[in-house]
Chain A
Amino acid sequence: MSNYLVKRVLMMIVTLWIIVTLTFSLMHAIPGNPFASESDQLPEQILNNLRAKYNLDQPLPVQYVLYLKNLLMFDLGPSIKSDSRGVNDMISDGFGASAWLGAQAISIALVFGILFGIIAALNRNKWLDYVAMALAVMGVAIPSFIMAPLLINYLAIKVTIFPVATWGTWMHTVLPSLALAFGPVAVITRYMRASMIEVMNQNYIRTAEAKGIPMWIIVIRHGIRNAILPVVTFLGPLIASLITGTFVVEKIFAIPGIGKYFVDGIFNRDYPVILGTTIFYSAILIVTIFLIDIAYTLIDPRIKLTNKER
């Protein structure tokens, strides 16, 4: 097991290094530069001063080595666009808000997704199933940039329960969490329904029924546990993408999260921000996938992490 862990961690580091290298070369291949702005007045000398300040006057291999060196010290560098804060500050300031919303959205998605999936599966081809599936199709089809203004319009303007936007109290987090959760609820519902239907047709379920065990105990003890694996698989990337913030929802609700840096960084050609956010997201994704792999073995003892143990 410890062998496995060491191997996995090394693999994770190598993966990250490959991602850094690829991102570094790709982003310098995009045309345009961070200092291009509409103002025409910037003389060449000022541009040279700026380039020198951010080491952009060095050859790319030198810049690459410099970056890796800083990265080893967990220093993601300064932001070219924002003078006040480096990339580390941006991520540490914004990650709290993004992760908070992400965690709430994932919770909502899990609870309602699993619940709706089970209800649909147990009432297959009855009206409850159709309602749940209709909701699921809507959830997949309606993008968050439609959902968010609708929520604002009905729950913040027509009925003034929640604030329109900005950040502060828990009430501020409700609408964005709902907007974020809507899509994932739909996906989880569909996964859960499909796999639940399959599980409920298994012989061991029939055996349990024949033993006279009440239905709700069968569902909880034998049904959910066997049916939840596909949902857990989906959960890995979902967690990574939700807790690192989303551009659209954070923009609409004015959330001080990190979602916007993923997009703005590229528009501004803010190289350290592009690399920093990519590394951060990749690291979270890699770790989450690792944790999910471990979670498999907890949920289903038939799954082993290493071939040797089989």
Chain B
Amino acid sequence: MKLQKGWRLLSTAALVAVLAVTGCSQQAAPAQPGSSGGATGQAPQADSGGQADMTAMLKLNLKTEPPSLDPPKGFDSTSNEVLNATMEGLARLDKDHKPQPAMAEKWTVSEDGKTYTFTLRDSKWSNGDPVTAQDFEFAFKRILDPNNAFPSAFLAYYIAGAEEFNNGKGNADGVKVKAVDDKTLEVQLKAPAGYFLHILTQPTFFPVNKKVAESNPKWSENASTLVTNGPFKMEDWVHDQSVQVVKNDGYWDKDSVKYAGIDWVMVNDENTQFQMYKTGQLDMVQTVPNDMKKKLIDSGEAKVESEASIYYYRMNTKMPPFTNVNIRKAFALAIDRQTLIDNVVQGKQAPALAHVPFGFPEPTGGDFREKGGDFIKDNDIEQAKALLKKGMEEEGWTTLPTVTMSYNTSDAHKSVAQVLQEMYKKNLGVDVKLENKEWKVFLSDQRARNLQFSRSTIPADYGDPVNFLELFVTDHPGNRINYSNKEYDALVEKIRNTADETERFQLMHDAEKIFMDDMPLVPIYFNTKVFMDQENVKGIIRHPVGTLDYKWVEIGKK
């Protein structure tokens, strides 16, 4: 009896002990991503005056697992960041954000702007196969196959026959993409689109190795089966943990690649990321903690670059009081954007006094926004008061119908909404109610056109102003506020069918003017990216529209 008791006691103790021992003694030793950035990154101290270190690895943070490295499937900035380093389409954006020959050596465009003929250069896939026009034809048709249900398929709708195939009304043969021979690809558009080459720089249009994808449908799921054609090739991919790519020696422009590869970790916490940057475990951070933003920008540690993206509030034109154009204008004029930016958002954003953001070059040089100029004045309180009064008289209202501002739950959006609420109270004497909803609930309400006054941040899907303009065509799913103007709809349609770029840009300026006269938005600011690069890292390219490009990075010896 006593013995048994003793055994039980012992076994209890042993259980505890075993837990403790297994918990502490063994050394878990999987691969070592990001533990010290790899020995290669720590070259001995040599005063080399900023010479590029060909053996260095670039240490980056991807934040999360890339949803998919199948080019048309990902369609998100995380997947695209890896794809843009490991693959390459017919064209690639250069340092000035213009499409330049990449996999295609050159191209010709027909008179009517509808037929593009690409001549491919000699380049190899990471498995040694040559990159052929057939790979591109296969890839482009694959984007549109309804069975694949790729979210980015709509980007290919410019190609003749594409939309029909994707809708299930046509078939693959109807898509006007054709490999004339191994090196020649012909693409026919259904209407001229001056920005088609820019669209082609997007990861959706990267080639897919036909042989690989046909023999293994799961080719894009692991590092060992991924076959790529870009500046880097996959070395290692530990899901939810790290991605490692190394220089691809089969890449046509390998001499421009001046370092050994990229080590991505996945750290999805703003403060942790910042700490890792400070301790040298990361070479670059693409965001900084909100409460340190101002300090870091002021001290010059963090830099700011503009991004083709706008933050605005939408006014539902079927819900009073926003049925009245003068009241809508009053709401757009009555806020002090600069104060909001300086004290609350703090990222050196530009006050938005129009609809289309900065970042779209004009065919004759200059920027679309700069040429278009401002449509309203920031903080124009007197005018706002007068317009509000006029609008109320027109509608015969003595008191303004209740206005409710909706935003998705987040501290940043909340503080913006609170400041706007205060400004409307002070400048217009209007009491605005605030309401927040969880993201997906907010989105579905907004899309159902059920929200009266609601926020949005709209980035560009591709590099052309029409990207923003077409959202407010009467039936567009992006409309969300029942905005409808026949003249505007007709103009956007005309823009889509105009081949002459100078004329097309003029039409886009006209369309923006009509839109701003109707003022269904309260534009607030044009977005910026606030980032930090380590001093020895140069040449990371940030496009206003498009993916981060690491091809031309140089890592100086420390």
| Inter-chain contact total with CB atoms closer than 8 Å | 200
A45 adjacent to B31 (CB under 8 Å)? no
A83 adjacent to B272 (CB under 8 Å)? no
| Partner pick for B8 among A100, A110, A298, CB 8 A cutoff | A298
A103 adjacent to B265 (CB under 8 Å)? no
Contacts of A103 in B (CB 8 A): 19, 22-23
Give residues 210-258 of A contacting B (CB, 8 Å): 220-221, 225, 228, 251-254, 256
Per-residue interface assignment for chain B, residues 213 to 256, with 1 indicating a CB less than 8 Å from any chain A CB and 0 otherwise: 00000001110000000000000001111100000000000000
Q: Does B520 contact A (CB under 8 A)?
A: no
Q: How far is the CB of A198 from chain B (nearest CB, A)?
A: 19
Q: Does A38 contact B (CB under 8 A)?
A: yes
Q: How far is the CB of A207 from chain B (nearest CB, A)?
A: 16
A52-B149, A160-B279 as given contacts; A152 in contact with B20, CB under 8 Å = no
Contacts of A50 in B (CB 8 A): 149, 151
Contacts of A260 in B (CB 8 A): 268
Q: How far is the CB of B232 from chain A (nearest CB, A)?
A: 19
Per-residue interface assignment for chain A, residues 160 to 190, with 1 indicating a CB less than 8 Å from any chain B CB and 0 otherwise: 1001111111101100010000000000000
Closest to A45 in B: B167
Contacts of B32 in A (CB 8 A): 168-169
Q: Does A36 contact B (CB under 8 A)?
A: yes
Q: How far is the CB of A29 from chain B (nearest CB, A)?
A: 12
Closest to A172 in B: B35
Give residues 130-173 of B contacting A (CB, 8 Å): 146-151, 153-155, 166-168
B240 adjacent to A253 (CB under 8 Å)? no
Q: How far is the CB of A203 from chain B (nearest CB, A)?
A: 19
Q: Does B68 contact A (CB under 8 A)?
A: yes
Contacts of A106 in B (CB 8 A): 19, 23
Per-residue interface assignment for chain B, residues 464 to 507, with 1 indicating a CB less than 8 Å from any chain A CB and 0 otherwise: 00000001000011101000000000000000000000000000
Q: Does B111 contact A (CB under 8 A)?
A: no
A46-B166, A164-B279, A298-B12 as given contacts; A169 in contact with B151, CB under 8 Å = no
B68 adjacent to A38 (CB under 8 Å)? no
B154 adjacent to A41 (CB under 8 Å)? yes
In this complex, how many residues of chain A approach chain B with their Cβ under 8 Å: the count is 70
Q: Does A104 contact B (CB under 8 A)?
A: yes
Contacts of A166 in B (CB 8 A): 33-35, 241-242, 265, 267, 276
B440 adjacent to A157 (CB under 8 Å)? no
B267 adjacent to A165 (CB under 8 Å)? yes
| Partner pick for A152 among B148, B167, B272, CB 8 A cutoff | B272
A89 to B222, CA, bound (A): 12
A152 to B34, CA, bound (A): 16
B28 adjacent to A164 (CB under 8 Å)? no
Contacts of A49 in B (CB 8 A): 146-149, 153, 166
A164-B281, A267-B440 as given contacts; A256 in contact with B458, CB under 8 Å = no
Contacts of B443 in A (CB 8 A): 32, 36-38
A85 to B65, CA, bound (A): 11
Q: Which of B238, B440, B444, B477 has the most CB of A within 10 A?
A: B440
B24 adjacent to A82 (CB under 8 Å)? no
A256 to B31, CA, bound (A): 13
Closest to A84 in B: B221
Contacts of A45 in B (CB 8 A): 146, 166-168
Closest to A51 in B: B149
A85 adjacent to B239 (CB under 8 Å)? yes
Q: Does B278 contact A (CB under 8 A)?
A: yes
A36-B447, A165-B276, A225-B12 as given contacts; A251 in contact with B269, CB under 8 Å = yes
Q: Which of B28, B275, B477 has the most CB of A within 10 A?
A: B28
B24 adjacent to A254 (CB under 8 Å)? no
A40 adjacent to B28 (CB under 8 Å)? no
A31-B440, A168-B35 as given contacts; A299 in contact with B68, CB under 8 Å = no
A-B contact pairs, 30 of them (CB 8 A): A30-B440, A33-B444, A36-B440, A37-B151, A38-B456, A38-B457, A38-B458, A38-B459, A41-B155, A41-B477, A45-B166, A49-B147, A52-B149, A83-B68, A83-B221, A93-B240, A94-B240, A106-B19, A107-B20, A152-B272, A166-B241, A167-B241, A169-B28, A170-B28, A251-B268, A253-B272, A254-B265, A254-B266, A267-B439, A299-B8
Using CB atoms and an 8 Å cutoff, list the residues of chain A in contact with chain B: 30-33, 35-46, 49-50, 52-53, 81-85, 89-90, 93-94, 100, 103-104, 106-108, 110-111, 149, 152-153, 156-157, 160, 163-170, 172-173, 177, 220-221, 225, 228, 251-254, 256, 260, 267-269, 298-299, 301
Besides the contacts A46-B151, A299-B12, what 9 more A-B pairs have beta carbons closer than 8 Å? A33-B444, A53-B149, A106-B23, A156-B275, A165-B275, A167-B241, A173-B28, A254-B268, A254-B272
Question: Which 4 residue pairs are nearest across A and B when measured between Cβ atoms?
Answer: A40-B478, A32-B440, A83-B68, A49-B149
